[in-house]
Amino acid sequence: MAKTEPSRCNLTALRKATRRVSQLYDQVLATSGLRGTQRAILVYVRRSGAPTMGELAAALVLDRTALNHNLKPLERDGLLTIIVDKNDRRSRLVRLTKRGEARLEESQAAWLKAQERFETAFGARQAADLRQTLELIASLEFDERALGSPAS
């Protein structure tokens, strides 16, 4: 009994791996002035154009209030704007600013370096497979399956 047996908790395993990988990515990204989560937000906004907050939150599997909080520093730093949707004044449209686009461009090299380090250690093929698995878990269909037949 030399080493401690690993935890059987799926959440604990996910958290531990996420912390380790966060440390790698955030360390490399630090020079660009963006955190991993912040970059993920900007990337989705750029891809989508002008998503609503709800749309953004769903895409990132983030609680709407968590997204709201996460957007604050980005808006404060002028990387994106949040404006009322004229067609539905309950909604807010999120858009990148020039500054936001520029920051995203600047972070690209660092992100690539982090990707390379991870995939050099873990394998590019394995990484692609893992991402697919994780996307499945993150998907709404999975959520419904996990909550669909509550054993309570």
- Interaction site with a copy of itself (CB under 8 A): 4, 6-25, 36-37, 39-40, 43-44, 47-48, 59-63, 111, 113-122, 126-127, 130-138, 142-143, 145-147, 149-152
Judged by beta carbon distances under 5 to 8 A according to partner kind, the member of DNA, a copy of itself, none in contact with residue 65 is DNA
The answer to the question of residue 27 lying near DNA (CB under 7 A) is yes
Judged by beta carbon distances under 5 to 8 A according to partner kind, the member of DNA, a copy of itself, none in contact with residue 45 is none
Tokens of 123: 């394998």
In angstroms, how far is CA 15 from the centroid of its own chain?
14
Q: Which of residues 93-152 bind DNA (CB under 7 A)?
A: none
End-to-end CA gap in the chain: 37
Among residues 142, 130, 125, which one has the least CA distance to residue 18?
A: 130
